[in-house]
Structure 1
Amino acid sequence: MDTSAQIASIDWQGRQLALEYAWVGAPSSEYPVVVFLHEGLGSLSMWKDFPAHFCTANGLRGLVFSRYAYGNSTARPAEEHWRPDFMHRQAIEVLPALFAQLGIERPWLFGHSDGGSIALLYAAHFPNEVSGVVTVAPHIFVEDISIANIRAAREAYLHGDLRSRLARHHADVDSAFWGWNDIWLDPAFRDWNIEDELAGITCPVIAIQGEDDEYGTLEQVHGIIRRISSARLCVLSQCGHSPHRDQPSELSREAAEFITTHRVYKNHTGDNHA
């Protein structure tokens, strides 16, 4: 990962947020920027070298950033509890502000887990503002397997070494963990579902998931395919919830082929073309 992280300041809900970000890959790429959206406990640094290697190998320019409450971005106050629409707010409010600040137009979105859900939500609400979506191990509704493993993560954070491992990647590790864990285990979140919103997506979409994903069944990606008829499905064998760690070569191959096949150029404003 490029360690030359910078800070973007945006206005959100009447306050200033500082979001850490870094550019990776080919600065003069002919393709739109690929924006990497991390998982629920992720950050810029937790992607490690995957975005840089992926973009450099395929002639792409990438933007990697830490969402609000993660990494070295503005921390979440301890008294602030997220609502079930927290991913919608990231997609509909924060991403447009960040893109405007950095001059990013019609990016590709490469999202993992919660970041994959945020990518889908952005594409659904801004269909003309995105070139395509690579959604990896996304959530489109809440499953028992997800809740069980998020409860297990809570125990590992309180009584195991998870807190110390995450602290390497977050300036305020409690901000990152409890924001995510509390809302996912909130009974009000059990009915969270974005399936109906997927119908608004018109850009190219590839939905990728490991067959051994411990945070969701394959019904998550099959549900995407049922609602976006043009979407492509990719299931990776011998792979859990984090394909960029378990199967980085396979993930890179599938995602790069999809992006470069849908040859959308930076300044193109009409339909996608090859």
Structure 2
Amino acid sequence: MSNFGLAGVLRVGSCDLEYRMIGPAPDDAPIIMMLHEGLGSVGLWGDFPDRLQAATGFGVFAYSRAGYGASAPVKLPRPLDYMHIEALEVLPKLLDQIGFRRGLLLGHSDGASIATIYGGGVADHRVRGVVMIAPHFVVEDVSVTSIAEIKTAYETTDLKAKLARWHHDVDNAFYGWNGAWLDPKFRAWDISEYLAYIRVPVAIVQGINDQYGTVRQIEIAEQECYCPVEVTMIPDAGHSPQRDAPEATLNAISEFARSVFDAHEASHGRENAIRR
């Protein structure tokens, strides 16, 4: 993918996935791979990818997972390991297909969980850091309560109409996510073991008023990770700090991104000097 400013559909495996590419191509700069939330899509990121590209100078690649946005729908109900499938089967193919050479994974909510599974489950030297916005590593009571409440809102208010703006098949998107999280068996979902196998710096950004998760998620990351974990708590922000407090969120992520690559280049320079 040598051009920039691209948008369209990529066939990954047997599935058509909507995507948007902003800024330099993978051959020319690091790429930030954006992984959306459980009800997200390329469009629902708004202008945050553009602002992130401008702040870092990196390329930014966002895509809608199957069942979301303009991507192909999925068969319902989703399997309860749907995030593992995305991280270990779909994402590796997508990264290879776009010519990913070096960069960061940036995930929000479900996307942060997918980034965690990939970061700890795939030994990919191309990934130099992982950014997690409002991550989930285990299921908390507050998560289930809020997800049950949003199901009621979806079925009784104009929420469905609002979400339909971002998804071609809004029921497929909503019930694929909501049905999995509200399945009683999903209470046993736990991906914290993957944190111990991440070998690159991690940044966690969380709104202080997050209605879907508590600081327990951050505590788990700090306990399990052997790599550096940089935590930014965003005041006056809920589960989506990139929408509630975009400037503070953008600053935290862009500073982390620059520091990761500055440190990597400095280390690489030292190695070259030693070889000489």
Q: Same fold (TM over 0.5)?
A: yes
The equivalent residue for 2:153 is 156
The equivalent residue for 1:132 is 129
CA distance in 1, matches of 2:201, 2:84: 20
CA contact (8 A) 2:26 2:101 kept: no
Q: TM-score if structure 2 supplies the norm length?
A: 0.90
Equivalent position to 1:9, from 8, 11, 19: 11
CA distance in 1, matches of 2:119, 2:268: 16
1:11-30 residue pairs with structure 2 within 5 A? Answer: 11=13, 16-27=14-25
The equivalent residue for 2:31 is 33
SS of 1:63's partner is: strand
SS of 1:232's partner is: strand
Moved more, 20-29 or 197-206: 20-29
Pair 1:50 & 2:48 matched: yes
Shift of residue 89, structure 1, vs aligned partner:
0.6
Shift of residue 4, structure 1, vs aligned partner:
5.0
The equivalent residue for 2:169 is 172
The equivalent residue for 1:256 is 254
Moved more, 126-135 or 145-154: 126-135
The equivalent residue for 1:59 is 57
Equivalent position to 2:118, from 117, 122, 137: 122
Percent identity at matched positions?
39
Shift of residue 21, structure 1, vs aligned partner:
0.5
> In the alignment, residue 114 of structure 1 is paired with which amino acid?
D
> In the alignment, residue 70 of structure 1 is paired with which amino acid?
Y
How many residues of Structure 1 are paired with residues of Structure 2 in the alignment? 266
The equivalent residue for 2:87 is 91
Shift of residue 156, structure 1, vs aligned partner:
0.8
SS of 1:262's partner is: helix
Shift of residue 25, structure 1, vs aligned partner:
3.0
CA contact (8 A) 1:6 1:21 kept: yes
The equivalent residue for 2:274 is none
Q: Which runs of 5+ in 2 are unaligned?
A: 272-276
CA contact (8 A) 1:5 1:22 kept: yes
SS of 1:135's partner is: strand
The equivalent residue for 1:184 is 181
Change in 2 beyond 3 A, CA 1:265/1:45: farther
Shift of residue 188, structure 1, vs aligned partner:
0.7
The equivalent residue for 2:72 is 74
CA distance in 1, matches of 2:55, 2:199: 28
CA contact (8 A) 2:5 2:21 kept: no
CA contact (8 A) 1:24 1:56 kept: no
1:220-235 residue pairs with structure 2 within 5 A? Answer: 220-229=217-226, 230-235=228-233
Change in 2 beyond 3 A, CA 1:264/1:179: farther
Shift of residue 247, structure 1, vs aligned partner:
0.9
CA contact (8 A) 2:196 2:225 kept: yes
CA distance in 2, matches of 1:104, 1:52: 19
Shift of residue 221, structure 1, vs aligned partner:
1.5
The equivalent residue for 2:193 is 196
Change in 2 beyond 3 A, CA 1:20/1:271: farther
1:162-190 alpha-carbon deviations (Å, 9 max, x no partner): 10000000011011000000000000100
The equivalent residue for 1:240 is 238
Greater helix fraction, Structure 1 or Structure 2: 2
Shift of residue 119, structure 1, vs aligned partner:
0.6
RMSD: 2.5
The equivalent residue for 2:207 is 210
Shift of residue 106, structure 1, vs aligned partner:
3.6
CA distance in 2, matches of 1:21, 1:128: 22
